[in-house]
Chain A
Amino acid sequence: MFKNYLKITWRNLLKNKSFTAINIVGLAVGMASAALILFWVQNEVSYDQFHAKKDRLYRMYNRSKIEGEIWAWGTTPKPMMATLKQDYPQVEEASRATQASFLFTLDSKHLTIPGVFTDPDFLTMFSLPLIQGNPKTALNDMKSLVLTEKTAIKLFGNTNVLGKTVKIDSVDYFTVTGVMKDLPNNTRFDFEYLMTWKYWEKINGGVDKNWGNNSVTTYIALKPGVTEEYFNKQVKNITRSHSEVKDIDVFVHPITKWRLYSKFENGQIVGGRITTIKLFSIIAAFILLIACINFMNLSTARSEKRAKEVGIRKVVGAGKGSLIAQFMGESVMIALLAGIVALAIVQISLPAFNILTEKQLFIPFASPVFWLIVVTFILFTGVVSGSYPALYLSSFAPVKVLKGTFKAANATFSPRKILVVTQFTFAIVLIISTIIVREQLDYAQNRDTGYKKDNLAYTFIQGNIDKNYQLIRNELVTSGAATAVTKTSAPMTEGWSDSWGFDWQGKDPNAKIDFNMFNVDGDFSKTMNLKIIEGRDIDIKTYPSDSSAIMINQASLKLMKFKNPIGQTVMNNGQKLTIVGVVKDFILQSPYEPVKQMIIQGPKSWFNVIHYKLNEKNTTAENLKLAEAVFKKYNSEYPFEYHFVDEEYNKKFADEQRVGTLASLFAGLTIFISCLGLFGLATYMAQNRIKEIGVRKVLGASVFGVTSMLSKDFLKLVAIAFIFATPIAWYSMEHWLQTYAYRVNISVWVFAIAAFVTTLLSIVTVSFQAVKAALANPVKSLRSE
């Protein structure tokens, strides 16, 4: 019996090639989209779940009230690690981590490589195995170095490098004590080597005992059996009991929640990436559903063709059960073919998808679990899409179908119409959402940054740059590479520092107000093209007293409520600062948030970055060549590295851009699958009504009249879908926009565009068949009895 089914299925597929193609392509595209999303979801969900001690690993967090709100953050004082290990018997292991970036020199090779400083326990806490070296001792000596495989190959050309030495920053020689297996694609850690904390202390002036400076990450492994709840009670006052800081509670954040549940509101976890995961899982489910709906629609639309077969089979003895099994088998077989095509699509599109999502996903062909999931997925798709057609087709009464009196139902409320409406509702929701995401992105990208981003480059201060700063600065200008140069504490696109220790006349003494801190030396406003609203730029050459000068931005002015800000005094922990200028607000951090109050300090503070405005008279390449010569001259050990402010600024939109691109992609695919289904339906509709069309034409109907008559029915469904889609899209996008302080208003034209696009696409899809039917010679169609 099974062989017979297979045979007839196969012949049916071959006989109706266009039907088969539409079905398989639609289903395959749907399955491939869902699979890509599921790959992504699987990767997100598996983040840092592979550590053997994952049930006991935690990151230390703080909670405190600032400006009336409870904030939570994951950086800690440096001495916390040692205290946890010494004074808390529940703690088995602990380690700190903070970023490192050094110039590695090996023979003639010079490479700046990012890494992490950490404590010896790091290697035994996390399941990041060493392929060479002993994890228990690899980080014991100050100048030991653990490289990842990739970095070992980059430096030495192979991984057999235990005991070899490499020069760090032209100062120290390090010995390789371990080679780590490359980091998997699902961990929060991102480094190319590990260095010891002892070395951090050596280059940063010894052991930091300050409990007021939250600057490193602290990880702990609790002893087996210690619960999170219990330990939270124990550790709550650790910062209070070791320092003057009296308003900070300490708690732990489990490793299992790092990736997906790391958004805090009022000090409590309220979610995080899990929202996106859920959203895209829903999208995956819907795309698959839409593809299944196509199959159902096309199968039932073809029912008149299959009806005779059903009748005959029933007459010769088939029961309903065996017919259901037959049609289910058919849909599973189509799902299987579609699954194979989908697998090919996924394999081909993964590289592009990886670029889009910034991941390294791959198909685990060797994993039996993967194949088990594939088979389940195909069976599931086959059964879901086959269920309705199987029930529908198997219920035909043989008496009717064999007599030829059978006509498929064309009721006003048929399931097929509901299915089409469902498809288009979802497609339209996605289209509207895509437009709104893009609009929001545009809106934020076009926001005035307050300074000029173009032709503005920066280089981090490393090696001898600081020592030779004046020379570099002068030569950048005299060589013609740049028109203005300034030193700052951080790149223009990043806020690296903030502080709440300020006081001024008229300030509410109880308010804890946090300011962004930014340090500049001369020519700041000239380099950035930043407008000074009142007063002047900090300029120590002309005004020697500017060593204690500050500028504030408009947001600060509004907060401080000075009528004449210039010359006013601001106290910072006993130090007297004088306002010399007010600058126009500029965006330092999120382009979606209001500009935060800022205090800009002068030349006496610390600097990390040189910004230079490239000479507009030269090409960028010429400017960079000139600049490189200058930096090489005064900092010869280091490669010349630069960044463009406009490029860095654009990275702020990466998340939204990704969401926007993914939304457009899946909206496009959904509408494609839906239209494919519509096309198939229109084909069968045109065939079924061929006689009616013939009669109408004989009686004098025009081609246009017939076409619009045939298209009308489908457009009605699209219109109904639009009515359903509008509130859903409006509600969910309004919700999404709420996460942005600086956001667009949803305007009516968004819906108008979505309506127009969908209608246009459906008309094109349907009318192709409708016109073909309308143009057919009625003599032929009427003879076709």
Chain B
Amino acid sequence: MIKITNLEKFYRTEEVETIALNKLSMHVDTGEFVAIMGPSGCGKSTLLNILGMLDDPDEGSYVFNSIEVAHFNERKRADLRKHNIGFVFQSFNLIDELTVFENVELPLIYTGVTTAERVKRVEEVLDKMQIMHRRNHYPQQLSGGQQQRVAIARAVVNKPKLILADEPTGNLDSSNGNDVMELLTDLNEQGTTIIMVTHSEHDARYSHRIIRLLDGQTVMENIMV
């Protein structure tokens, strides 16, 4: 599903140039659950942003579903993204002014799904995430675990082929964290490819494969059994 080759990304300030990704190559197959680990500043998040087409690489190739996307413009990337990729963030990133239902509905609105279909799909996914009873609440009225369920519901409502999760348990206690990891595992078992950035060895154990980064390069790959 994903194949990147010699990917490079630099950050420049007035005086220094920092290399975030240094000729990085990797691939992820459809249906895989991959964890990316490494110390702060190793390039994990940069990689995730490029994979999610929120950012573009300076050099190298990124093939997504057999399409070269490295030099797509913003509009084309947004188009590809909204149909194929769901995001889960450490800080949930829900819109405070919208209810649970409306937050989850948002991606469907941008992909032009009809109102009736939207209601059906949102209710379906809220049910699955066991958050249906909170559908008319606002994010501030929910616990962290509940908020992350809503965020996951929003990530999957469009039935994406790929979910990118950036430290999804980082702001949660261990019990809520385990629930979230179970949800992701379920999704993966139903066929969704998952790439997750994490600091937690415990969370990483849910994945099939761990890619360890240091200074923008792959240093090790562990296959989980």
Contacts and interface: CB of A to CB of B under 8 A. Distances in A.
A311 B154 CA distance: 15
A318 B82 CA distance: 8
B119 interface: no
A404 B75 CA distance: 24
Interface residues of A, number: 26
A320 interface: yes
B154 A316 contact: yes
Nearest to A8: B97
Contact of B49 (A11, A317, A399): A399
Contacts of A315: 52, 54, 81, 87, 93
B49 A312 contact: no
Interface string A301-326: 00000001101111111111010000
Most buried by A among B55, B78, B89, B91: B78
Given A312-B93, A316-B154, A320-B74, A4 B54 contact: no
B45 interface: yes
Interface in A659-698: none
A656 to B, nearest CB: 53
Interface string B175-196: 0000000000000000000000
Contact of B82 (A1, A7, A309, A317): A317
B94 interface: yes
Nearest to A305: B96
A404 B109 CA distance: 26
B78 A317 contact: yes
A398 B110 contact: no
A317 B110 contact: yes
A7 B98 contact: yes
A308 B94 CA distance: 9
Given A316-B106, A317-B78, A309 B54 contact: no
Contacts of B74: 320
Contacts of A309: 95, 97
A563 interface: no
Contacts of A313: 95, 106, 110
Contacts of B52: 315
Given A313-B106, A319-B110, 15 more contacts: A7-B98, A7-B102, A11-B97, A15-B97, A308-B93, A312-B93, A312-B95, A314-B54, A316-B110, A317-B81, A317-B107, A317-B110, A318-B78, A399-B54, A402-B93
Contacts of A398: 54
Interface in B145-172: 154, 158
B197 to A, nearest CB: 12
B5 interface: no
Nearest to A322: B110
B97 A399 contact: no
Interface in B68-107: 74-75, 78-79, 81-83, 87, 89, 91, 93-95, 97-98, 102, 105-107
B202 to A, nearest CB: 24
Interface in B99-125: 102, 105-107, 109-111
Contact of A12 (B55, B83, B97): B97
A476 to B, nearest CB: 80
Interface of A: 1, 4, 7-8, 11-12, 15, 308-309, 311-320, 322, 397-399, 402-404
Contacts of A7: 98, 102
A740 B87 CA distance: 73
Contacts of A319: 75, 78-79, 110
A399 B55 contact: yes
A398 to B, nearest CB: 5
3 smallest CB-CB distances across A and B, nearest first, come from A317-B82, A317-B110, A316-B107
Contacts of B154: 316
Contacts of B109: 1, 4
A12 B79 CA distance: 28
Contact of B78 (A1, A15, A308, A314): A314
Nearest to A403: B45
A312 B94 contact: yes
B111 A320 contact: no
Contacts of A4: 98, 102, 105-106, 109
Contacts of B110: 1, 313, 316-319, 322
B45 A320 contact: no
A12 B109 CA distance: 19
15 contacts: A4-B98, A4-B102, A4-B109, A7-B102, A8-B97, A15-B97, A314-B54, A315-B81, A316-B87, A316-B110, A317-B111, A398-B54, A399-B55, A402-B93, A404-B91
Nearest to A311: B93
Most buried by B among A309, A320, A404: A309
A317 B98 CA distance: 16
B105 to A, nearest CB: 8
Contacts of A12: 97
Nearest to B110: A317
Contacts of A311: 93
B172 to A, nearest CB: 18
B102 A402 contact: no
Contacts of B95: 8, 308-309, 312-313
Contacts of A8: 95, 97-98
B78 to A, nearest CB: 5
Contacts of B106: 4, 312-313, 316
Interface in B133-151: none
A311 B87 CA distance: 12
Contacts of A1: 109-110
Contacts of B49: 399
A159 B27 CA distance: 95
Contacts of B83: 317
Contacts of B89: 402
Nearest to B104: A316
Contacts of A11: 97-98
Nearest to A9: B97
Nearest to A316: B107
Most buried by A among B91, B110, B111, B158: B110
Contacts of A318: 78, 110
A403 B89 CA distance: 10
Nearest to B52: A315
B184 to A, nearest CB: 18
A11 B140 CA distance: 14
B112 to A, nearest CB: 8
Most buried by B among A12, A312, A315: A315
A318 B111 CA distance: 9
Contacts of B78: 314, 317-319
